Amino acid sequence: TKYGKDNDSLLSFRKKYIGKSLSLQYKNPLQIVRGQGPYLIDPWGKKYLDTLNNVAHVGHEHIEVVNAGRMQMALLNTNTRYLHKNINELAEILLSTFPPELNVVHFVNSGSEANELALRMAKTATNGKGFIASEVGYHGNTNACIDISSYKFDGKGGKGKPDYVEIFPLPDAFRGKFRGENTGEFYAQEVEKCIQNLKNKNIPLAGMIIESIISCGGQIELPEGFLQKSFDLVRAQKGTCIIDEVQVGCGRVGKTFWGFQLHNVIPDIVTIGKPLGNGHPLAAVVCTAEIAEKFANGMEFFNTFGGNPVSCAIGSAVLKMIKNENLQENALKVGDFLKNELKQLAKDFPIIGDVRGQGLFLGFELVNSQLQPLEEQTTYLINRMKEFGILLSSDGPDHNVIKIKPPMVFSIENAIEFLFYLRKVFAEDFMKLT
Ligand code: PMP
């Protein structure tokens, strides 16, 4: 076709008409035409094991999810100004996964939109406008989301931190400002400094936003006690506490359904995205009754697509499949196995400096003996693994952390295959620690 068939012609058409800031993975990008469980498949039938897609949460093209969308699409899809049982059903199933304090939901269409709404809710509820967020945090592509995402405004093409935002250092116990165990208190003191900086500028606090495991920052687990202490500090100034579960949530961490539950806190607002629609654009903002009440200040919140019958049918099917197929338990079992095996691998190949994460949200970091990041080796590993049919991705401020966040149907056998090829590539000359 004129749109291209082989990779070269697809790429040249794309280069002509699609915005240049949209990036592709790999120097020689893949053409993917089908998905199935934990696999992606190219037009020639080659299967790739997907270790990075946390959107295809219950597996690529899960039949129950596909059918839920297909059936509802054939009946009706419209905006949310009519009564419909699908939005009620999804609200009930989703809210049943939260502690009782979090009991109101607004549906939207993307993680960015969810965070955009969360920021607006926090501002409306507090009459504040200052926000506190993490270094190397990413929360979405809208103007307000970019303003709180140091991953973007401190990166290429970024214009730096806006006045109303304060950033605390990445709470990274391996290579961060404070290292080792028991750093929660020290990082919370950094949050306190941010609060003080806003005060000095006479900017009233609206809230703090953070992921429950910081993904773009390099799969950074929050130090023990950090969230609890930070929330106390923020609430003492009447700010709201927002947790971004767009990447981490929906059973992925294994031990709990939501990442924040690993830390014994209850946020005021939680944002949910990627996994909820298993690839269909569906996201949500869950909040307390108090925030919801304050947000309903007379200004209507209208969202043409958010919470439509098709999206809600899909969302309910996804949440049911997580439960029916015991995917949270699978994440715990396979995640623990994988993490232990990766720690073994790190003993044989000390280039792996740190293995971290929870459930099927893991990461490992490549460093030299002085703990300096090894970006080139990370890129080499990703490209070599592709040749063996395994898809990997990296992140972190130094692009040296491999992120593991596969579809939750990832099995022990998938993990064994993945580990086999990792061991093979780590034994190659390019990966020798110098
Ligand atoms: N929050 C986090 C933590 C994310 O990783 C992302 C997307 N990578 C977003 C928000 C934005 O979500 P979306 O791309 O669906 O707008």
Half-sphere exposure of 287 (CA within 13 A, CB side): 25
Residue whose CA is closest, atom 7 of ligand 1? 140
> Each residue's pLDDT tens digit in the chain (434 positions)?
788 889 999 999 999 999 999 989 998 999 999 999 999 999 999 999 999 999 999 999 999 999 999 999 999 999 889 999 999 999 999 999 999 999 999 999 999 999 999 999 999 999 999 999 999 999 999 999 999 999 999 999 999 999 999 999 999 999 999 999 999 999 999 999 999 999 999 999 999 999 999 999 999 999 999 999 999 999 999 999 999 999 999 999 999 999 999 999 999 999 999 999 999 999 999 999 999 999 999 999 999 999 999 999 999 999 999 999 999 999 999 999 999 999 999 999 999 999 999 999 999 999 999 999 999 999 999 999 999 999 999 999 999 999 999 999 999 999 999 999 999 999 999 998 76
Would the CB of 215 count as within 6 Å of ligand 1? yes
201 CA distance to ligand 1 centroid (A)? 30
Spatial separation of the C-alpha atoms in residues 35 and 388, rounded to whole Å: 18
Would the CB of 230 count as within 6 Å of ligand 1? no
202 CA distance to ligand 1 centroid (A)? 30
User: What does the pLDDT read at residue 89?
Assistant: 98
CA 50 to chain centre: 16
User: What does the pLDDT read at residue 37?
Assistant: 98
Residue with tokens 């103007």: 143
Would the CB of 7 count as within 6 Å of ligand 1? no
Residue whose CA is closest, atom 13 of ligand 1? 111
131 CA distance to ligand 1 centroid (A)? 18
Q: Residue 321: left (phi > 0), alpha (psi -120 to 50), or beta?
A: alpha
Residue whose CA is closest, atom 4 of ligand 1? 139
Paired tokens of 82: 């009519």
User: What does the pLDDT read at residue 279?
Assistant: 96
Q: Choose which residue among 22, 57, 139 to substitute to test ligand 1 binding: the one with the highest number of ligand atoms within 8 A of its C-beta.
A: 139
Q: Choose which residue among 246, 270, 271, 403 to substitute to test ligand 1 binding: the one with the highest number of ligand atoms within 8 A of its C-beta.
A: 246
Residue whose CA is closest, atom 12 of ligand 1? 111
Residue whose CA is closest, atom 5 of ligand 1? 247
CA 356 to chain centre: 16
β-strand partners of 107: 284
140 CA distance to ligand 1 centroid (A)? 5
User: What does the pLDDT read at residue 268?
Assistant: 98
Rounded to whole angstroms, the maximal C-alpha distance in the chain is: 65
User: What does the pLDDT read at residue 432?
Assistant: 86
Residue whose CA is closest, atom 10 of ligand 1? 139
227 CA distance to ligand 1 centroid (A)? 21
Would the CB of 137 count as within 6 Å of ligand 1? no
139 CA distance to ligand 1 centroid (A)? 5
Q: Choose which residue among 247, 252, 278, 311 to substitute to test ligand 1 binding: the one with the highest number of ligand atoms within 8 A of its C-beta.
A: 247
Spatial separation of the C-alpha atoms in residues 208 and 166, rounded to whole Å: 9
Residues in contact with 402: Cβ distance below 8 Å, sequence separation at least 6, in sequence order: 363, 364, 365, 366, 378, 381, 382, 392, 393, 394
Would the CB of 211 count as within 6 Å of ligand 1? yes
User: What does the pLDDT read at residue 79?
Assistant: 87
Q: Choose which residue among 170, 213, 252, 274 to substitute to test ligand 1 binding: the one with the highest number of ligand atoms within 8 A of its C-beta.
A: 274
DSSP category for residue 169: P
Would the CB of 246 count as within 6 Å of ligand 1? yes
User: What does the pLDDT read at residue 433?
Assistant: 76
Residue whose CA is closest, atom 2 of ligand 1? 139
User: What does the pLDDT read at residue 27?
Assistant: 87
Residue 143 has a CB neighbour count (10 Å cut-off) of 8
